[in-house]
Homo-oligomer: A and B are copies of this chain.
């Protein structure tokens, strides 16, 4: 036992790291025919579930900053999958909306999610359990950085 002082937490981040990269590698060949990268797909997933979100809102969901999202979304815009328009109510906000092409891509991508679900090799209850633990973990990690938020709503994204 060379490192008995760091058994659990360290290995956990290790596993999450490797699984995340493994997910990316499984998705890549499925997304390539659609002309999408994995993070771009995650942004589209967000928009398919609710269209017309602001950059900040999308970032809060994925844990990404505008410095990452702005160029990514501009590439989606260049591919004519989304449009970016300033919110007339608050000109600071940029509202990202799906184009027809962007919406149509959801059905083209539907088999992707089916493939992935199969590739996980997990049963439905296992997935539910895993998601629940990961959600808990994510909240705890955020609170650990920002402080447990003694009152008021916890900050969700980076630099919100």
**Interface on chain A toward B: helix, strand, loop, or mixed SS?**
helix
B145 touches A26 (CB 8 A): yes
Whether B138 pairs with A18 at a CB distance below 8 angstroms is yes
Q: How many copies does the complex hold?
A: 2
Q: Which range holds the interface residue count of chain A? A: 35 or more
Complex Cα distance, B160 from A25, in Å, reads 14
Q: In chain B, what residue has the closest Cβ to A126?
A: B133
Give A2 Cβ to nearest chain B Cβ, in Å. 6
B120–A137 contact, CB under 8 A?
Answer: yes
The closest CB in chain B to the CB of A64 belongs to B21
Q: Which of B6, B16, B127, B129 contacts A110 (CB 8 A)?
A: B6
Q: A13 to chain B: closest CB distance in Å?
A: 5
Contact B12 A130 (CB under 8 A): yes
Please report A residues at the B interface, Cβ cutoff 8 Å. 2-3, 5-6, 8-23, 25-27, 29, 42, 45, 48-50, 61-64, 106, 110, 113-114, 116-122, 124, 126-131, 133-145, 158
27 of the cross-chain contacts (CB-CB < 8 Å) are A2-B48, A6-B113, A6-B114, A8-B124, A8-B127, A9-B120, A10-B117, A12-B120, A12-B130, A13-B27, A14-B42, A16-B19, A17-B23, A17-B62, A17-B63, A18-B61, A18-B62, A18-B63, A19-B20, A29-B145, A119-B145, A120-B140, A121-B143, A122-B136, A122-B140, A126-B133, A130-B134
